[in-house]
Amino acid sequence: MLLLFSLTAAAIYLVVKYYRANRRPFVEKAEKIPGPPTLPLIGNALEFGTSTKQFFDYLLWLTRTHGPIARVWVGPVLAVLLADPRYIEAVLGSSRIIDKSILYKFGEPWLGQGMLTNTGSVWRRHRKIIVPAFHIKILDKFVNTFNANSKILLERLERHAGGPGFDIYPYMNFITLDIICESAMGVKINAQLDNSSDYVNAVQILGDAMFLRAFMPWLHLDSTFALSSLGRLQKKCLKVLHGMTKRVIRSRKAQILNNNETEPRQTDSDSTGVKQRYAFLDLMIQAMKDGATLTDQELQEEVDTIMLAGHDTTTSALSFSCWCLAEHPDVQERVISEIRDIFGDSTRDATFRDLQEMKYLEQVIKETLRIFPSVPMFGRVVTEDLPMGEYILPAGTNIGFNPYMLHRNPEYFPDPEKFDPDRFLPENCQGRHPYCYIPFSAGPRNCLGMKFAMSEMKAVLSAILRRYKILPASPPHKLDLTVVLVLKSLTGVVLRLQPRIPDAATRCANEH
């Protein structure tokens, strides 16, 4: 008993000594930052709720209540939420603060050390290799992929034309999955035609599992998570996804490197016989042939990262863009006028140049992303003390960025709840703080695929609008926003479609 008492006392002494020497300065700096009261050991974890909706609402409440810099404790982990562009610039604009927050580690089983999760010299080396794949001269090669999949979408939407309201989110989910699979790997999974496949289901489940684990502290330990039903489901889905990626990489690498191909592969031609589609995987393998160093594992991780980053985010943006167009018919008519100026009476496919001319549609998408940012929360971690106004963020702080609240700052966006695409006219953007609008992040780690995503969204939306008028649901539908990796509505994004009546010239052209 004496020995046990002595060992316990010694342990307590060491913990207290460690706290006083190391932890107390950290806590003292943290507690000066505005935030709610905390409980010992668990911090604010009990306030997060038990659903993604409650967690999202809590984070919005935190900013509304405690201001543009607010702290919470997730057990012993300090998290500081930022919603002021001056604070955000100090972090995102830094070339030194590039480490992702602790929450990103839950994506590592799927993404490994891909561009979304890695850091330091590995991140810089990979980014240098991948950047050329997103060059504007490469992006125009994907337009045929956008057009071909948009045609399938229009055929699937035909069943709703003139009918009652329906949820457009699943349709956007499957077209973006088809587009990103073909663009990233050069393979067709036909998610729009067969959305019950193992691969399609695995992609959907894994994205949700990553976020669900993040806000459940009891699943943070890998050993505990592995024993949970969510952990077992993730393991099953990873086997499906990684299996397919590895097979495609082995096949393409053998063809390009061993068979001495000099150009990246063109995927199967569409109905027009045009072969102009390339895969990001092929471009990365070609870079290896030109001297870049990427292992098969690194190739897999980067392809999987492109798959995740280019799927759910675009699904969210497209769905809410349709919602905004339905709710604002005057805006929709201006988009239609622009489309008619570009295409006239023609029913031809869009070209890359056409997409570049869709200036007002781009403003609509940007305004949609202001009100409904696809990624309403993301984060970094600071590795050294960082002055932040009158506060100091101690080394080890996990920083969360809150675009949802940032984009509603009336100082930069007057009447912030009003949908007004003219906010993004060039003359209205002049003088605006560069970090007050960050739907694609900003700084050294900004989204590489933003031009690809913008072109994809223009192609899909213009295709829909050329055939259908988008109308609000009847009775009116109410969104119920939450976040599961990306912004979603728990009640779906319900709207109606009405076929557009072609004018006489178009009818004549179609008849002949």
Q: Which tokens go with 249?
A: 């990489």
φ, ψ for residue 202, nearest 5 deg: -65, -40
Domain-embedded: residue 393? no
- pLDDT the model gives residue 277: 45
Residue 26 inside a domain? The answer is no
- Token pair for 162: 């003139």
Could you tell me if residue 390 is inside a domain? Answer: no
Residue 487 lies in a domain: yes
What is the number of structural domains in the chain?
A: 1
Q: Is 429 part of a structural domain of the chain?
A: yes
Q: How far apart are CA 323 and CA 362, in angstroms?
A: 15
pLDDT at 261 over 70: no
Q: Strand, coil or helix: what is 42? A: coil
**C-beta of residue 156 within 8 angstroms of C-beta of residue 171:** yes
Residue 457 neighbours by CB under 8 Å, 6+ apart: 314, 317, 318, 321, 365
CATH of the domain at 226: 1.10.630.10
Average pLDDT over residues 310-316: 94
Q: Mapped to the 3 state alphabet, what secondary structure does 195-213 carry? A: CCCHHHHHHHHHHHHHHHH
In this predicted model, what pLDDT tens digit does every residue of 376-410 receive, in sequence order? 999 999 999 999 989 999 999 999 999 999 999 99
Given this model, what pLDDT does residue 50 score?
A: 80
pLDDT, mean of residues 170-195? 92
Q: Give pLDDT, residue 462.
A: 98
Binding residues, by number, are: 447
Residue 35, in any domain of the structure? no
Q: Report yes or no: 25 and 14 within 8 Å, Cβ to Cβ.
A: no
Task: Name, of 187-201, 237-251, 327-341, the range with top average pLDDT.
Answer: 327-341
Q: What is the mean pLDDT of residues 142-148?
A: 95
Annotated binding site for heme, which residues? 447
DSSP line for 417-481: TS--GGGGSHHHHTTS-TTS--BTB-GGG--TTHHHHHHHHHHHHHHHHHHEEEEE-SSPP---E
The pLDDT of residue 276 is: 40
Task: Give residue 270's pLDDT band: very low, low, confident or very high (50, 70, 90).
Answer: very low
Residue 217 belongs to some domain of the structure:
yes
Residue 146 vs residues 204, 236, 274, 343, 493: alpha-carbon distances, Å: 21, 31, 13, 17, 22
Mean pLDDT score across all residues of the chain: 87
For 481-510, write each residue's pLDDT tens digit: 999 889 999 999 999 999 997 654 344 444
Range of the domain at 223: 117-374+418-511
Q: What span, in angstroms and rounded, lies between the C-alpha atoms of 178 and 331? A: 29
> Residue 1 domain-assigned?
no
Euclidean distance between CA atoms 229 and 106, whole angstroms: 16
Of the candidates 190, 109, 110, which has an alpha carbon nearest to the alpha carbon of residue 148? Answer: 190
**Cα 298 from Cα 280, distance rounded (Å):** 14
